[in-house]
Structure 1
Amino acid sequence: MGQPLLSVIVPARDQAGFIADSMTSLTRQFPDPAVMEILLVDDGSADATADLAGGFAAPLPGLRILRNPAPRGLASARNQGLDAATGRYITFLDPDDWYAPGHLATLTQEIRRLGVDFLRVDHIRHTEGVRTFHRAPQARHGVVLDPRGDIQPSHLSTMVDYPFAWAGVFDRRLADAGLLHFVDGLHTAEGRPWVWRLHLRARSYAVDDAPGIIYRRGVTSSLSQIFDRRQLDFLRSYGEVFRLVAGDREAGRFWPKAARQFLAIACHHLGRSDQMSRDVRRDLRAGIRAAVAQLPAAVAQSGLADLDPKRRKVLTKVLRSKK
């Protein structure tokens, strides 16, 4: 057989309750599913996730299951899939999400037509049976765009505020250039430096009218619903964002956006910190102080001034504290 048209990377840990939905949706993407290489990375599951996925080997002849004896985390599992991928194009699917029929056929057709490095799409959120439509922050669809041109302005939602790896398809030349990999070991906020790197360094992208990815929200096992130390991964994540921006030839252009993003997310976590243990709260505050110290002083001051009074008061108190 020749090169697969598309590699679909599915990192999964303890998803026995949902994996059949995801796999079933993959059987409905192309007239011939053999054009897909499906890399399911079983990241140390304690349930039957891998066995249930393996039951789809007949309708999905390109299915490969990679097993980790112990969990490595979402970012590392995706990287493992990337390292094994051989397809002309690459996409990601979370194991509790699913596709509308023909979604991937539409995306691969469109990325080939436009010849861009990556293609992004709107998505549908499914929360306790209710579906809502969510647009990517770029309204121009079906045309070639400059990724760097869609990072700013800092006060509006832009494409670097849309860090969902599963909302699009990517030319494998990005993977070959090292632009698709995630920061190893991150359990949360893994998409933040990933999307910044793409928009700083890729040559072209587009947004398509194909909201065929259904993103399941409100799952109790989701890390967004858990308040342990893994929530602090956003600090390491933004350390990488700051490194990328600082090394860019137009760092001054992009610092305000990176700072505003970080400060907003820091306030979000501080607002949830009463659900964290005392030591995690302590490390959260110390980490925020250390991260803000990495920002150019004028950028940090401007970012704080732009916050609403309530959030500015909370964050200023943390920055002035020593505990």
Structure 2
Amino acid sequence: MNRPLATGSVQEFRRDRLLDVLIPTRDRPAELAVTLAGLAAQEGVPGFGVVVSDQSDDPPGFAHPAAATMVRALRHRGHPVLLTRRLPRRGLAEHRAYLLAASTARYVLCLDDDVWLAPGAVHRLVTAIEELGCGFVGNGVHGLSYLDDVRPETHRHYREWDGPPVPERIRPGSPEWDRAQIHSAANLLHVTAGLDLTPESWRAYRVSWIGGCVLYDRAKLVDAGGFDFWRRLPPNHQGEDVAAQLSVLASHGGAGVLPSGAYHLESPTTVTDRAVEAWQLL
């Protein structure tokens, strides 16, 4: 029988680590277990922390035996894990702001609860942001059910950075906004296949925004306002990650990283009321 799972405390968790992973979740115990399993298999960034904030209608996802086992596996491998509940729900941006406030790490990885990370993904992202010195780097997520759906018309949106990323002011309707098309379906897998990368090499490319797996320099994210704009939004919004990234791009720059080790679980969304696009309202 599964024994009680210690949740930890914010006071004990907040330490000056290199990296914390921030995971918002709701009504997804199976997906959360897979996401945590991906983190438990990461190497090359010892001692990173993990915060899970649950807004489930029923018992929290981390109480499920599979997810609880992965929490224990992470702790056994030296990763502090903080398990929290954030109710009542006040919207996605408020949830992310709460998670960000739980961390004092140099870098924070905003990871959705339906993304499995392949081994090596976290180390590659940390290496990239340290070398590039920008506000964020990210892995666009692959939808493996689209593996045979090749869309060459989207590949033209892939443009590599020749040097460190520079700040960019990107707005909807601009040519730069269309860069996001490279992140749908399995486009990144098809682009990566044409690059002939060695196992240790990676490429930084220009983005407008990235969903699901974004590593921020925490100080630069906070400098750009973080997710504090949640107070200006109704609870039924989406696109809060886009709004934050546009602000960081404008002040500190950002990049996508190939190869991507992020794989979307392709589960139905648990946020069904999304009447407002945060980046439009803001």
TM over 0.5: yes
- Point out where structure 1 has 5 or more consecutive residues left out of the alignment: 241-323
Structure with the larger RCO, 1 or 2 (CA within 8 Å, 6+ apart): 2
State how far apart, in whole Å, the 1-side matches of 2:104 and 2:149 are: 34
State how far apart, in whole Å, the 2-side matches of 1:47 and 1:130 are: 38
Q: Which residue of 2 aligns with 1:243?
A: none
What secondary structure is seen at the aligned counterpart in 2 of 1:38?
A: strand
- Point out where structure 2 has 5 or more consecutive residues left out of the alignment: 1-12, 181-205
Contact 1:127 1:216 in 2 (8 A): no
> For residue 198 of structure 1, what is the amino acid of its counterpart?
V
Q: Which residue of 1 aligns with 2:187?
A: none
1:216–1:142 distance in 2 versus 1, CA, 3 Å: farther
What secondary structure is seen at the aligned counterpart in 2 of 1:4?
A: coil
State how far apart, in whole Å, the 1-side matches of 2:133 and 2:209 are: 22
Contact 1:87 1:172 in 2 (8 A): yes
Q: Which residue of 2 aligns with 1:232?
A: 275
Contact 1:123 1:135 in 2 (8 A): no
> For residue 28 of structure 2, what is the amino acid of its counterpart?
Q
Contact 1:8 1:91 in 2 (8 A): yes
Match of 1:46 among 58, 61, 65: 58
Q: Which residue of 2 aligns with 1:58?
A: 72
Measured on the aligned residues, the alpha-carbon RMSD in Å equals 3.2
Contact 2:170 2:246 in 1 (8 A): no
1:103–1:37 distance in 2 versus 1, CA, 3 Å: same
State how far apart, in whole Å, the 2-side matches of 1:211 and 1:22 are: 15
Contact 2:134 2:254 in 1 (8 A): yes
Q: Larger helix proportion, structure 1 or 2?
A: 1
What secondary structure is seen at the aligned counterpart in 2 of 1:169?
A: strand
Deviation, 1:21, is 0.5
Q: Which residue of 2 aligns with 1:207?
A: 256
Contact 1:141 1:209 in 2 (8 A): no
Q: Which residue of 1 aligns with 2:127?
A: 109
Q: Which residue of 2 aligns with 1:87?
A: 105
Deviation, 1:140, is 0.7
Deviation, 1:136, is 10
Q: Which residue of 1 aligns with 2:195?
A: none
Q: Which residue of 2 aligns with 1:196?
A: 246
Percent identity reads 19
> For residue 58 of structure 2, what is the amino acid of its counterpart?
A
State how far apart, in whole Å, the 2-side matches of 1:75 and 1:28 are: 29
Contact 2:209 2:245 in 1 (8 A): yes
Deviation, 1:162, is 4.4
Q: Which moved more, 1:85-94 or 1:70-79?
A: 70-79
Contact 1:118 1:204 in 2 (8 A): yes
State how far apart, in whole Å, the 2-side matches of 1:171 and 1:7 are: 11
Contact 1:124 1:132 in 2 (8 A): no
1:176–1:75 distance in 2 versus 1, CA, 3 Å: closer
Deviation, 1:49, is 0.2
Contact 2:54 2:60 in 1 (8 A): no
Instruction: State the structure with more CA Rg.
Output: 1
Q: Which residue of 2 aligns with 1:158?
A: 179
Q: Which residue of 2 aligns with 1:8?
A: 21
Deviation, 1:109, is 1.2
Q: Which residue of 2 aligns with 1:177?
A: 223
Q: Normalising to structure 1: TM-score of the pair?
A: 0.61
What secondary structure is seen at the aligned counterpart in 2 of 1:119?
A: strand
1:132–1:195 distance in 2 versus 1, CA, 3 Å: farther
Pairing of 1:236-275 with structure 2 (within 5 A): 237-240=279-282
> For residue 91 of structure 2, what is the amino acid of its counterpart?
G
What secondary structure is seen at the aligned counterpart in 1 of 2:104?
A: coil
Q: Which residue of 2 aligns with 1:145?
A: 165
Q: How many residue pairs get matched?
A: 231
What secondary structure is seen at the aligned counterpart in 2 of 1:60?
A: helix
State how far apart, in whole Å, the 2-side matches of 1:136 and 1:100 are: 26
State how far apart, in whole Å, the 1-side matches of 2:207 and 2:262 are: 18
Q: Normalising to structure 2: TM-score of the pair?
A: 0.69
> For residue 17 of structure 1, what is the amino acid of its counterpart?
A
Match of 1:220 among 268, 271, 278: 268
State how far apart, in whole Å, the 1-side matches of 2:245 and 2:84 are: 25
Deviation, 1:142, is 6.7
Deviation, 1:172, is 1.4
